[in-house]
Chain A
Amino acid sequence: MHTVSIVGEDASVLLERLVGRLSARGSLATITKRSSVSSQASPDDITRIEDSGDITELPAQPAPGHENAIHYTAAGADVAYGHAAEGWSGYGTTDRSIEELIDDLAGKYDYCLLEGHTGGAVETIAVGEMDTDTPLLEIDDPETCALEPILEQIDDTTPHVTLETLVNDVQTVSAESQAGAIATFTGRVRAKEHPDDTPTEYLSFEMYEKVASDRLDTIREELEAREGVHAVRFHHRTGVIERGEEIVYVVVLAGHRREAFRTVEDGIDRLKAEVPIFKKEVTTDETFWVHDQADQQ
């Protein structure tokens, strides 16, 4: 899922134009970050928003027709969904980060546009006078700017991938009807090997991008050539990954469980042995490259 945040006073103008174009290219989700002013929106505001079609200032209310959601969440439900023939709505009270929302959407949508979100790993497009760190693009006039170059930039961003993205993707292959098994491997940052070890704070990964991607393609083709293995997918994150967070996924779609399990194991083993990725470990006491540590042991 290509994920980009539009920031700046007139972000909504550009966002609305982009929504029309992106939804023609693929499935699209939007996340609107409410400003502090509109958080005090009154019921009158709802009417105004319905009239104007303004999507930038959603008040803290569920979609019209799903007002019961408020009662259920007030009574203790963490999230309440409404469902009707014409659509559905979700209303949650729990403290969920934008990152968690993006993770949830990544398996289902091709694009995610955020409005007004800065920080984290999400790329931004700055509209008008906006002091943003290294935006992907800076747009002066959101009403008249050409959209094609922006769409190209969005397509060039590194997609946000979760385990669910890969699990959904393998099920789109044509041999899917002969597949009775999906096996997955998730590698995560282990804080300690033994209970009294110095805990790992984070790992930092560096990748020889082009060669890594070629190697992974080769491994994938070789594993997919096995009898009964229909699809194999890999994803390895780079940069800083904190303890408890996920690093790598391997997903296999196969006819039966045995070839699925075997291929997942061989896939992660070959990734670790053959793909040019380098891991630096930072514990509370020290920093070291993991291959150096392995030499010492």
Chain B
Amino acid sequence: MHWKLFATLREATGHQEVAVEIEEDATIRDALDALLQNHPELEDELFSPQGELYNHIRLLQNGDDPFLTGDGFDADVGPDDELALFPPVSGG
């Protein structure tokens, strides 16, 4: 699967898109762990000192919010999935 990163997160890693290898029964948490293994510099951008994903960070799975429509971190991830992480939107 691959991750898409935007704005501050893209700048922190220097990549708009990051492909990661995951197991067949992987969840979003596994995909996020794989991303952080490749890019530990994201840790401070994404997580509070208590280890919680910051409230202002958005995570989408194929365009949908898994925390609203699915199982959140426990949602299954397939090999063709696109996961995205970004800070608050600021268009207009």
Contacts and interface: CB of A to CB of B under 8 A. Distances in A.
Interface string B51-66: 0000010101001000
Interface in A185-228: 187, 205-208, 210-212, 214
Chain B interface size band reads 10 to 19
Interface in B42-92: 56, 58, 60, 63, 84, 86-92
B37 interface: no
Given A268-B92, A273-B89, A276-B91, 17 more contacts: A205-B91, A206-B6, A206-B10, A236-B92, A272-B89, A275-B89, A276-B60, A276-B84, A278-B89, A278-B91, A289-B8, A289-B87, A289-B90, A291-B8, A291-B87, A291-B88, A292-B8
Contacts of B91: 205, 207, 212, 236, 248, 271-272, 275-279
A280 interface: yes
B22 to A, nearest CB: 21
Nearest to A205: B91
B36 interface: no
The 9 closest A-B pairs by CB, nearest first: A277-B91, A278-B7, A272-B92, A291-B88, A279-B90, A290-B90, A211-B63, A291-B87, A291-B90
Contacts of A208: 4, 6, 84, 86
Name, among B4, B60, B89, B91, the residue most crowded by chain A CB atoms within 10 Å (CB to CB).
B91
Contacts of B58: 276
Given A211-B60, A278-B87, A291-B56, A206 B7 contact: yes
Chain B binding surface, main DSSP class:
loop
Name, among B63, B84, B89, the residue most crowded by chain A CB atoms within 10 Å (CB to CB).
B89
Contacts of A273: 89
Nearest to B89: A276
A294 interface: yes
Interface string B2-16: 001011101000000
